[in-house]
């Protein structure tokens, strides 16, 4: 059942991390509470559910563009192409897809003498990270071992934005430190504050988690989802405290007008700088 807090009382449409052995049904808070109350009765209650559901197999795609990743270590940069079925998904995640595509286009023609980059657009992230997990489980193990770092862009145009750089490992050495330094430098150059945070091993629940669980460090650029912006964040990033960072997160109103072009451009510029530093040195 949905958790029942404001804005979270409708049909619960989560996805399961793994195939469950028992049927699972998401219900609105009100239905869940009624079922829970019925279950409390001393003599027990028999519950009948009538469900209309559609079940079927759908085709989805990953789109990959790369150069010279046949040997040596390389970096993967990715964003998910799909949205939830509730809305068009312009911030989640046309914004991240656009940033990755734009960065790739800007790098065309730059000398590529450094670390090769694989640009990836994942299918079906919202259904349980299916595209990125499929990619990592179907490429040869030898190739997977050569992925030095994954950079994820999921929601980078939030209207009441923050600027997060998120890590799944220590950021003090190797490629992670290098990208962290480039990104921090790129934002600092324009006096744009960032908040760095780390969630070891399991990542932040986007495609970064697919890589983290395979032991590949991941860095994510993220401007915030449905959570409420606190006072400290409003002081740091501007915008409105007490309001969601993205009020249209996973809703029908996640349209083009829901995007902050300002922060989308800032993130795209920082990403391009960081990738350029990697690719040319």
- Report residue 24: phi and psi, to 5°: -125, 135
Our CB check for Zn ion shows the closer of 83 and 182 to be 83
Site mask for Zn ion (CB under 5 A), range 90-109, x = bound: --xx----------------
Tell which residue, 54, 16, 8, has the closest CA to residue 32. Answer: 8
Cα–Cα distance, 41 to 47 (Å, whole number) = 12
Please, which residues bridge with residue 151 across strands? 77, 219
Our CB check for Zn ion shows the closer of 234 and 253 to be 253
- Closest distance to Zn ion from the beta carbon of 238 (Å): 23
Site mask for Zn ion (CB under 5 A), range 102-141, x = bound: ----------------------------------------
Cα–Cα distance, 140 to 146 (Å, whole number) = 10
- Closest distance to Zn ion from the beta carbon of 125 (Å): 6
Site mask for Zn ion (CB under 5 A), range 53-92, x = bound: ---------------------------------------x
Pick the stretch among 65-73, 99-107, 149-157, 194-202 that binds Zn ion (CB under 5 A): 149-157
Our CB check for Zn ion shows the closer of 154 and 273 to be 154
Q: 3-state SS string over 61-91?
A: CCEEEECCCCCCCEEEEEEECCCCCCCCCHH
Pick the stretch among 7-15, 42-50, 100-108, 147-155 that binds Zn ion (CB under 5 A): 147-155
Centre a 10 Å sphere on the Cβ of residue 178 and count the other Cβ atoms it contains.
Answer: 19
Within positions 179 to 238, which residues make up the interface with Zn ion, using CB under 5 A? Answer: none
Edge-to-edge, what's the strand order for the sheet holding 164-167? 63-66, 117-122, 74-80, 147-153, 218-222, 164-167, 195-198
Cα–Cα distance, 242 to 222 (Å, whole number) = 19
Q: Does 154 bind Zn ion (CB under 5 A)?
A: yes
Centre a 10 Å sphere on the Cβ of residue 67 and count the other Cβ atoms it contains.
Answer: 14
196 is annotated as an active-site residue: no
Q: Nearest 5 degrees, angle CA 250-CA 260-CA 4? A: 30
Tell which residue, 117, 109, 106, has the closest CA to residue 149. Answer: 117
With CB under 5 A as the rule, give the number of residues binding Zn ion.
Answer: 3
Our CB check for Zn ion shows the closer of 224 and 239 to be 224
Our CB check for Zn ion shows the closer of 83 and 233 to be 83
- Closest distance to Zn ion from the beta carbon of 134 (Å): 17
Catalytic residue among 6, 125, 142, 195: 125
- Closest distance to Zn ion from the beta carbon of 207 (Å): 9
Positions that interact with Zn ion (CB under 5 A): 92-93, 154
Catalytically active residues, by annotation: 125
């Amino acid at each position: 059942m949905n958790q029942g807090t404001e804005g979270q009382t409708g049909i619960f449409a989560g996805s399961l991390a793994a195939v469950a052995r028992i049927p699972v049904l998401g219900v609105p808070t009100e239905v869940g509470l009624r079922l829970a109350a019925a279950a409390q009765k001393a003599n027990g209650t028999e519950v009948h559910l009538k469900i209309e559901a559609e079940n079927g197999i759908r085709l989805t795609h990953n789109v990959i563009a790369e150069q010279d990743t046949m040997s040596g270590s390389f970096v993967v940069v990715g964003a998910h192409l799909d949205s939830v079925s509730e809305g068009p998904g312009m911030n989640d995640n046309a914004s991240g897809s656009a940033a990755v595509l734009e960065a790739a286009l800007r790098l065309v023609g730059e000398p590529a003498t450094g670390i090769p980059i694989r640009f990836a657009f994942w299918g079906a992230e919202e259904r349980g990270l299916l595209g990125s997990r499929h990619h990592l489980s179907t490429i040869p193990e030898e190739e997977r071992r050569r992925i030095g770092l994954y950079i994820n862009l999921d929601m980078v145009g939030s209207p009441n934005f923050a600027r997060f750089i998120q890590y799944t490992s220590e950021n003090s050495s190797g490629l992670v430190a290098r990208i962290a330094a480039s990104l921090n430098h790129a934002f600092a150059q324009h006096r744009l504050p960032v908040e760095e945070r780390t969630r070891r091993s399991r990542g932040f629940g986007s495609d970064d988690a697919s890589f983290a669980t395979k032991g590949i460090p991941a860095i994510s650029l993220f401007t915030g989802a449905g959570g409420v912006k606190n006072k400290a964040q409003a002081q740091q990033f501007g915008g409105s405290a007490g309001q969601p960072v993205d009020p249209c997160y996973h809703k029908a109103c996640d349209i083009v007008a829901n995007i902050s072009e300002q922060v989308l451009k800032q993130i795209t510029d920082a990403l391009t700088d960081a990738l350029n530093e990697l690719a040319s040195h």
